[in-house]
Amino acid sequence: MKIYNTLTGKKEDFIPLEEGKVKIYVCGPTVYNLIHIGNARPMVIFDTVRRYFAYKGYDVTYVSNFTDIDDKIIKKANEDGSDAGEVATHFIEECNKDMDGLGIGKDMIHPLATQVIPEMIEMIQTLIDKGYAYESNGTVYYRVRKFKCYGKLSGKNIDDLEAGHRDIKVAGEDDKEDNLDFVLWKPKKEGEPAWPSPWSDGRPGWHIECSVMAKKYLGDSIDIHAGGEDLIFPHHENEIAQSEAANGVPFAKYWMHNGFLRIVNKEGEFEKMSKSLGNFLTVRDVSEKYPLEVLRFFMLGAHYRNPINFSDELMESAKNGLERIKTCLTRLEELGTKTGAEGMSEGEQEKIKEAEVFTKRFEDAMDDDFNTADAVASVFDFVKYINTNTDENSSVEYAKTLHDRLCELMGVLGLSTDTGSDELLDEEVDNLIQERNEARKNKDFVRADEIRDLLIEKGIILEDTRDGVRWKRK
Ligand code: AMP
Ligand code: ZN
């Protein structure tokens, strides 16, 4: 299995720190808003990485944090007249709903920054004791020049960085020994949430959170650290400086970074989707139009290190592709439940053997730095093979074996294999809603309620709007 490692700039064989185990840390979102589909990309990608490791038999521990204390959260709380804790709790709940829709597994740890304040204070104290950090008027800074390997992840040269920083002065950070130094702990300002510490009542800087959460839940050295490529510098560079100086051992062996999700701008060019550019679509926006597994499938259609351009056409194509696979699964389900030939014929046994090539190609693609684009292509080829090599005379066992294999690959990609065969079609829902409207008009409330209950039972939510009744699937 090969992984492209940002630290070395090469694809390398994956060798776990501990036989049969893999420890992964992925930087999660700052929770002051609904997540946008760019934020969802690392979630989907690294969840798929996690699933593939599990498929290969590894015991995976996966940690992804929520940054629940930050300037932006405090600003949002002030705007809303609430407090930072409430804002964070609310958007964590919303993010969890989006992650459910995206098929992000439950088998992960999601720590909050505010849950590890004592551990952060402890690591900062260690850094001070070792001479890597210093306090000045209640603020604690990291002494960047003291860490000799600074720049090893991003390839940045410390003198170039110094030149770039010369003119930049950040308000309230006048006491730094060096412009390169970054904040580990800052004193509170009026009205801000704060925790007591040996230096001031205040709160941690952003970078220290991840170093501490990785240490607490995974240990001093981890196999994989991941996030979007915008985090390479300064966030991940600073995490390395903190963790390696404090713990005295290499931090992460492999650094993985996903490329940006982009969207077209007014000039017709694609640019990074971001909150600050205001060009974002939330996961929630997309869920109004498509089941979220279509968004997941769209993302898996590109290599994770390449940029991916969001468009309606590509989403439509993802939707159609997913439907093709589901139709194949439905067919196999039907063949697998019909009465008739039970056991496999010799010819079928040969075909099952022949079809192993698709699983092999899937694995080869995933073994090559998680090339989900090629893995998805092998799933499509498998579907084509199934469609041309099954018919009503196929045996139950043959259909079931093909079905299970296809389901297994879908599972690695985090896609549901629920074909919704007992689900109502859109058209049937529309007809029922119309019948319900008629019933209400005719004061036949019993029938109207019956229809509403049936729809609820089938997972359809009705909304009364000014333009009539709208519906969506739960
Ligand atoms: P943030 O809340 O901005 O810290 O972002 C959370 C995660 O989303 C980080 O791993 C970012 O690198 C990632 N991210 C943000 N915007 C994009 C984007 N447009 N495409 C891909 N990843 C992104
Ligand atoms: Zn982080």
Kindly report, residue by residue over 302-315, the tens digit of the pLDDT: 999 999 999 999 99
Cβ 382 under 6 angstroms from ligand 1: no
User: Which ligand number lies closest to the CA of residue 252?
Assistant: 2
* Ligand 1 atom closest to residue 35's alpha carbon, by position in its atom list: 2
- Whether residue 193 contacts residue 83, with contact meaning beta carbons closer than 8 Å, is answered with yes
What pLDDT is attached to residue 417? 92
Q: Residue holding tokens 């170039």?
A: 160
For 178-212, write each residue's pLDDT tens digit.
999 999 999 999 989 999 999 999 999 999 999 99
Pick 48 or 471 by higher pLDDT: 48
Instruction: Inform me whether the pLDDT recorded for 217 exceeds 90.
Output: yes
Measure the CA–CA gap between 333 and 396, rounded to whole angstroms: 9
Measure the CA–CA gap between 63 and 6, rounded to whole angstroms: 20
Domain range list for the chain: 2-272, 312-412, 426-473
Q: What is the pTM of this model?
A: 0.88
Q: Could you list which residues have their CB under 5 Å from ion ligand 2?
A: 27, 210
The 3-state DSSP composition of the chain as helix, strand, coil percent (nearest 5) reads 50, 15, 35
Shortest-distance Cα residue to atom 7 of ligand 1: 39
User: Which ligand number lies closest to the CA of residue 258?
Assistant: 1
Tell me which of 1.20.120.640, 1.10.274.50, 3.30.450.20, 1.10.600.10 is the CATH number of domain 312-412.
Answer: 1.20.120.640
Tell me which of 3.40.50.1370, 3.40.50.12280, 3.40.50.620, 3.50.40.10 is the CATH number of domain 2-272.
Answer: 3.40.50.620
User: Which ligand number lies closest to the CA of residue 27?
Assistant: 2
Instruction: Inform me whether the pLDDT recorded for 167 exceeds 60.
Output: no
Measure the CA–CA gap between 402 and 345, rounded to whole angstroms: 14
Confidence at 449, pLDDT banded by 50, 70, 90: confident
* Ligand 1 atom closest to residue 227's alpha carbon, by position in its atom list: 10
Instruction: Inform me whether the pLDDT recorded for 464 exceeds 80.
Output: no
How confident is the model over 424-436, as a mean pLDDT? Answer: 82
Instruction: Inform me whether the pLDDT recorded for 339 exceeds 80.
Output: no
Confidence at 473, pLDDT banded by 50, 70, 90: confident
Extract the tokens encoding 91: 């958007």
Cβ 42 under 6 angstroms from ligand 1: yes
Strand, coil or helix: 405: helix
Confidence at 316, pLDDT banded by 50, 70, 90: very high
